Amino acid sequence: MRPSDHDASYKLLFSAPELVRDLVLGFIPDEWLHSLDYSTLEKMPGSYVTDDMRHRADDVVWRVKVGGEWIYLYILIEFQSKVDPWMAVRMMSYVGLLYQDLIKAKQVLPQRKLPPVLPIVLYNGDAPWKAATNIAELIPKVPGLVAQFLPSMEYLLIEENRYAAADLASMQNLVAAVMRLQRPHSQADVLEVIDLLNRWLVSNPELVRIFAIWVRLVLLRQSKNHLALPKVQDLKELKMTLATRFEEWALQARQEGLEKGLAKGLAKGLEKGLEKGLEKGLEKGRTEGEARILQRLLVARFGPLSQETQAALSTASTAQLEAWTDRFLSARTLAEVFAPPSSPL
């Protein structure tokens, strides 16, 4: 999945108010935020045009009612693994554009007050986030009057890779399920999360459809498109397809493992056989060489050898030939060379 596709798939998920609610309740520890009525969540336009008519696109903007007023939750979802060192500048720009749009639409609060905005960056990359979370961190400190006018705006960073799998598994939370599916530990984990989503969303078929689309896209990306998955609109159908594919993978892996093991065994056996054969061949060659040398020495000293003596030389072991060669050095007759060693008294 290309980064743009990945971005679009996350936007699809967070087009559902249930995801926004679970993001706030599960991953932002704040009593006041938790006290809000998230049944009043309303999705706002997420794209704005500046005064010079240049288009600037945001990600997802929601508002939730607090009494008679509105709190705007601004959510920017960063999907790429690279950390953006200028994210603080982008977030300040996006919030400014949101305020400009609200002013033009005459959606400000009484007494010309602007509604508060909670800017959130949901980061799902692998590398730790090291970028500044406040634009003030990007500007050198200066003394005197100028220090009073330096901008300061912070965004809330939520890093998916900071949450342990066990902690996510203990949460009945849609965003936690999303994080688990982004980094599954096993095929069983994937099937378990899909089962949980089926139970949690039994009365929400539209969100089931959205999750089915998103899960399929994530699994295709993780498998680098090696996993053949048809387009589905239902999580139960997706689970059945996945279970079949996982079983096929397991059978294929076992078959490949068997074939690989057999090939390795044959190669090892062949290598061992060749090594043993070479060793045996070298030994035989050395023995035959010693027999020929001894035969030439015997002929030179004692004359032609009988067929019995030649046969004895050709079938003798290396140790026997060495013993005969030692006796040849002091023997006065051929019989002394081949005489059995005398027994000690």
Kindly tell me the burial class for residue 300, based on how many C-beta atoms sit within 10 Å of its own C-beta (0-12, 13-18, 19 or more). exposed
* β-strand partners of 64: 71
pLDDT of residue 345: 42
Pairwise CA distance, residues 253 & 220, whole Å: 19
Last residue of a domain, one of 129, 162, 195: 162
pLDDT band at 308 (very low <50, low <70, confident <90, very high): confident
Helix (H) or strand (E) holding 43: strand 42-44
Is residue 191 assigned to a domain? no
Last residue of a domain, one of 162, 180, 207: 162
Is residue 261 assigned to a domain? no
Same domain, 22 and 149: yes
Same domain, 155 and 290: no
Handedness of CA 122, 124, 129, 135 (dihedral sign): negative
From 23-32, 44-53, 290-299, the region with the lowest mean pLDDT: 44-53
| Nearby residues of 93 by Cβ (< 8 Å), 6 or more positions away | 56
Tens of pLDDT, residues 175-225 = 999 999 888 888 888 889 989 999 999 899 999 888 888 888 888 777 765
Is residue 256 assigned to a domain? no
Is residue 168 assigned to a domain? no
Same domain, 152 and 7: yes
- Predicted confidence (pLDDT) at residue 301 exceeds the cutoff of 70: yes
Find out whether 122 and 155 touch, Cβ atoms under 8 Å. Answer: no
Structural domains counted in the chain: 2
* β-strand partners of 76: 121
Is residue 152 assigned to a domain? yes
SS3 category, 60:
strand
Residue 11: CB atoms within 10 Å: 15
Is residue 196 assigned to a domain? no
pLDDT band at 252 (very low <50, low <70, confident <90, very high): low
Same domain, 15 and 155: yes
> Which bin fits 303, alpha (ψ -120 to 50), beta or left (φ > 0)?
left
Find out whether 123 and 59 touch, Cβ atoms under 8 Å. Answer: no
Is residue 31 assigned to a domain? yes
Is residue 92 assigned to a domain? yes
Tens of pLDDT, residues 95-143 = 898 888 888 888 887 778 888 889 999 888 888 999 999 999 999 999 9
Find out whether 6 and 14 touch, Cβ atoms under 8 Å. Answer: no
* 342 alpha carbon, distance to own chain's centre: 77
Report the number of secondary-structure helices (H) and strands (E) in the chain.
12, 7
| Nearby residues of 101 by Cβ (< 8 Å), 6 or more positions away | 45, 48
**What residue numbers bound the domain in which 281 lies?**
271-338
Same domain, 149 and 293: no
Residue located via tokens 């010079």: 52
pLDDT of residue 79: 55
| Nearby residues of 32 by Cβ (< 8 Å), 6 or more positions away | none
Last residue of a domain, one of 142, 162, 182: 162
Pairwise CA distance, residues 97 & 189, whole Å: 41
Same domain, 16 and 153: yes
Top-confidence residue, 329 or 278 = 329
| DSSP 8-state secondary structure symbol assigned to residue 117 | E
